[in-house]
Amino acid sequence: MTGHGPLVLVIGDKQLSSWSLRPWLLMRHMGLPFEELRLPLDTPRFAREIERYSPARRVPVLLHGDLHVWDSLAICEYVNELVRGAAWPADAAARAHARSICAEMHAGFAALRSTWSMRAATVGLEVDLPPAARSDVERVEAIWTACRERYEGGGPWLFGARFCVADAMYAPVMLRFRTYGAELGPVARRYAAHVLDDPHVADWIRGAGQEIAVEGRPESHA
């Protein structure tokens, strides 16, 4: 049994919260209507209110009636339940591959994350990569290239025709690559162009720009 009632996704700033983007984008792609509740990071409001939603005191959190699901990957799994398995590839081998790269993203790439922090609406930043972060970028590119070479015949997403959890999990890193101008090979570049053309991704970037321009939210962490 799942939760009941409207779905509410608690997220952080669209400019900064890479973890929030993952389930947000997946829910958009799965066509699940949801309300967005944004708690701006590093504010007294966040400190005051987050406890209501998550014992881990972090965003994202998905609220479904009394059920609170926290952690981006756990939310993606719950979304997959709501859409009866449509959020992962249909084929078991492809699904195992997708789960492997999602686990790798969820648990790794610390050097890349800390050097190129997500700034969704910002482009043209120049920040040199230390060797560990450079190998993270190479590994992400190798992951995308392997997926595209294997599943390109089926369609433009990592696992072919359908957007899946893996595309959602790798979307934030794509925005980092856009902001800092990562140099990618042709296969990864094609995938990047497809993701950056996605209307939901564009919507998130637009939201990030509005936070900065209209609400005066900071462009980066202090």
Three-state DSSP class for 64? strand
Pick 35 or 42: Cβ nearer ligand GSH:
42
Burial of 216 (0-12, 13-18, 19+ CB in 10 A): exposed
Q: Are 159 and 98 in contact (CB under 8 A)?
A: yes
15 interacts with ligand GSH by CB under 6 A: no
According to DSSP, the residues that pair with 93 across neighbouring strands are none
DSSP 153: G
Listed ranges 17-25, 30-38, 149-157, 179-187: which one lies at the site for ligand GSH (CB under 6 A): 17-25
Judged by CB under 6 A, the chain residues 28 through 87 that form the site for ligand GSH are 41, 58-60, 71-73
Pick 23 or 160: Cβ nearer ligand GSH:
23
Listed ranges 18-26, 88-96, 161-169, 179-187: which one lies at the site for ligand GSH (CB under 6 A): 18-26
Residues 6+ apart with CB under 8 A from 44: none
Q: Which of 55, 28, 3, 59 is nearest to 204 (CA)?
A: 28
Q: How far is the CB of 137 from ligand GSH (least distance, A)?
A: 20
Pick 17 or 179: Cβ nearer ligand GSH:
17
* Parallel/antiparallel/unpaired status of strands 67-70 and 61-64: antiparallel
Pick 52 or 193: Cβ nearer ligand GSH:
52
Q: How far is the CB of 108 from ligand GSH (least distance, A)?
A: 12
**Distance, CA of 174 to CA of 2 (rounded, Å):** 32
> Where on the chain is the footprint of ligand GSH (CB under 6 A)?
12, 17-20, 41, 58-60, 71-73
